[in-house]
């Protein structure tokens, strides 16, 4: 992919250790200076864009779920996640109550830090000013990373923690400072409280290191001390899962079904991962960076990381994971590519890619595709994030009006049950000030938070259809419909509200029958 320019010798050239299975440390030679000015400028631009768009429309459905879980159902675990995001959402809402932009501040911060970390990875690989800026800017304009920076979500926090872990491992290769491995273990412990995916990174890395080296990595006590801390920190969540029948394992079937239905199945994993790395720049740099990790003599000490990327990707393809599970490896790939571009002029056919006009065009495309910058009147479900953020207060208003419209004796004993967990979270977050009764949902984590009390006869059921509800209730009557000032094709547009009476069996059995992931 590069022109046949010979690598020069000098302080930026790493030794070729391709033929050594247990590579010696690269050495603690002085690194190139950090390009503080331009890197921080790129990071600042990302912060400005995310801050400018963070308050648009409203909470996303998953954000409402984290917020409701943290405020009303805080626990050591949930059916579909550990406890970190609910606790973080609760903390931000305590400091900045009711602020959508405030809830999203952690997402903004970790995205900005990810930009800087990518520059630091490039620096560790020997990259100077140009390499650091190219890598940092590629991270900044990746649609996946920029779009996830708009939301407080596991898919936002997890890639940052992978990037931080990768930087610590890369730095250890150069310095052999074991405190870095302990730090990587502590970061992994934090990551495990938000999502369990980082286990696959370490499993893949361990397998690769056993085969190709540096095997010295696996003999370091600091690595295993960090692993022990990770296990201890994760025990409360694992105990919760064990007590509740390991529902997290059921989520794999849910993810696989969604991937096959919406994302083209496993065959589309790699194309989507490449595409969302960057519509122009990121896609090229991700592929080029992986190639360089696998073949560039100057990056030979880090070759095991290239094979780790391949193995992690293969694991997620085989297990039918979502394409963005590998987003935490983008920073490493961008950095490896940028270092090579700085050292060796790219081949003529793609020399135009790492240029500022192309970066600027990629940035515009990323903003338009990944962030809610278009008018709300144009939003449809094709814009998943914007549509999933639209209409939650109106949903709560509609259900509250339907509840007030019930006869007093019925209203006093009625509860609300929703078709999905987004709706339940929205009604819990917005429902208290609207006088809503207790809210339940049989979907995912909400099924475990409680069910209607025995003897409950009247339910306002949000969503679903009368044929389905007639299986579980003797009477089903529609009493309201959510109406939004938006296009028909939206998450909350036209959602029905039903008054259901006379459950066909006692609530313990009915709740089991209604459960779905």
Q: What is the pLDDT of residues 197-234, one digit of tens each?
A: 999 999 999 999 999 989 999 999 999 999 999 999 99
Q: Is residue 495 over pLDDT 70?
A: yes
pLDDT digits (tens, 9 = 90+) for 89-125: 999 999 999 999 999 999 999 999 999 999 999 999 9
For residues 136-161, average pLDDT: 96
Tokens coding 513: 């029958």
Residue 382's pLDDT band (boundaries 50, 70, 90)? confident
Residue 252's pLDDT band (boundaries 50, 70, 90)? confident
Q: What is the pLDDT of residue 36?
A: 95
Given a contact cutoff of 8 angstroms between Cβ atoms, the answer to whether 74 and 434 are in contact is no
Q: What is the pLDDT of residue 29?
A: 61
Tokens coding 220: 């370091």
Angle between helices 129-140 and 330-343 (to 10 degrees): 150
Within 244-370, residue ranges assigned H as helices are 247-262, 269-277, 281-295, 303-318, 330-343, 356-370
Q: What is the pLDDT of residue 346?
A: 86
Q: What is the pLDDT of residue 517?
A: 83
For residues 267-293, average pLDDT: 95
Q: What is the pLDDT of residue 13?
A: 32
Mean pLDDT over each residue of the chain, to the nearest integer = 91
Q: What is the pLDDT of residue 349?
A: 86
Stated pTM of the model? 0.91
- 490 DSSP assignment: S
For residues 377-399, average pLDDT: 92
Percent of the chain with pLDDT over 70: 94
102, with CB counted inside 10 A (0-12, 13-18, 19+), is middle
pLDDT digits (tens, 9 = 90+) for 36-58: 999 999 999 999 999 999 998 99
For residues 166-171, average pLDDT: 98
Lay out the sheet containing 496-503: strands in order across.
439-440, 415-418, 458-462, 496-503, 473-481
Residue 28's pLDDT band (boundaries 50, 70, 90)? low
* CA distance to 205, 256, 424, per residue, from 199 (Å): 10, 19, 31
Q: Is residue 18 over pLDDT 80?
A: no
Domain ranges of the chain: 36-56+103-370, 392-514
Given a contact cutoff of 8 angstroms between Cβ atoms, the answer to whether 1 and 347 are in contact is yes
Residue 7's pLDDT band (boundaries 50, 70, 90)? very low
Q: Is residue 126 over pLDDT 90?
A: yes
Q: What is the pLDDT of residue 1?
A: 40
Q: Is residue 15 over pLDDT 50?
A: no
């Amino acid at each position: 992919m590069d022109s046949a320019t010979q690598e020069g010798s000098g302080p930026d050239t790493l030794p070729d250790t391709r033929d050594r299975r247990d590579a010696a440390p690269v050495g603690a030679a002085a690194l190139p200076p950090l390009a503080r000015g331009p890197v921080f400028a790129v990071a600042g631009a990302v912060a400005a864009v995310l801050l400018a768009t963070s308050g648009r429309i409203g909470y996303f459905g998953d954000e409402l779920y984290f917020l409701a879980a943290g405020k009303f159902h805080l626990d050591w675990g949930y059916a579909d996640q550990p406890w970190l995001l609910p606790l973080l959402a609760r903390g931000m809402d305590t400091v900045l109550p009711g602020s959508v932009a405030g809830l999203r501040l952690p997402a903004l911060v970790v995205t900005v830090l990810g930009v800087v970390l990518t520059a630091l990875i490039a620096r560790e690989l020997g990259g100077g000013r140009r390499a650091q800026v190219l890598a940092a800017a590629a991270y900044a304009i990746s649609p996946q990373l920029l779009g996830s920076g708009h939301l407080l979500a596991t898919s936002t926090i997890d890639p940052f923690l992978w990037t931080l872990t990768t930087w610590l491992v890369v730095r250890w290769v150069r310095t052999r400072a074991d405190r870095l491995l302990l730090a990587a273990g502590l970061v992994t412990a934090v990551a495990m409280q938000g999502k369990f995916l980082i286990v696959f990174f370490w499993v893949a890395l361990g397998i690769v290191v056993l085969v190709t080296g540096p095997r010295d990595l696996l003999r370091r006590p600091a690595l295993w001390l960090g692993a022990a801390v990770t296990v201890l920190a994760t025990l409360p969540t694992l105990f919760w899962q064990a007590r509740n029948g390991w529902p997290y394992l059921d989520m794999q079937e849910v993810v696989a079904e969604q991937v096959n239905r919406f994302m083209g199945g496993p065959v589309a994993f790699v194309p989507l991962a490449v595409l969302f790395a960057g519509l122009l720049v990121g896609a090229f740099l991700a592929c080029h960076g992986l190639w360089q990790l696998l073949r560039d003599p100057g990056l030979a000490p880090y070759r095991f990381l290239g094979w780790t990327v391949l193995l992690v990707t293969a694991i997620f393809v085989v297990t039918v994971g979502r394409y963005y599970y590998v987003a935490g490896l983008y920073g490493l790939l961008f950095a490896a590519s940028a270092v090579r571009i700085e050292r060796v002029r790219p081949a003529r056919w793609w020399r135009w890619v790492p240029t500022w006009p192309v970066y600027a065009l990629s940035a515009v495309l990323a903003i338009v595709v990944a962030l809610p910058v278009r008018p709300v009147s144009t939003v449809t479900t094709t814009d998943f994030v914007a549509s999933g953020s639209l209409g939650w207060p109106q949903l709560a208003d509609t259900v509250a009006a339907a509840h007030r419209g019930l006869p007093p004796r019925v209203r006093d004993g009625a509860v609300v049950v929703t078709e999905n967990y987004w709706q339940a979270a929205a009604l819990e977050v917005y429902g208290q000030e609207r006088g809503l009764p207790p809210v339940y949902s049989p979907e995912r984590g909400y099924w475990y938070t409680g069910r209607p009390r025995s003897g409950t006869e009247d339910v306002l059921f949000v969503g679903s259809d009368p044929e389905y509800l007639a299986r579980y209730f003797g009477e089903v009557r529609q009493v309201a419909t959510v109406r939004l000032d938006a296009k028909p094709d939206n998450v909350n547009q036209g959602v029905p509200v039903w008054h259901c009476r006379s459950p066909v069996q006692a609530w313990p059995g009915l709740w089991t029958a209604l459960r779905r992931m």
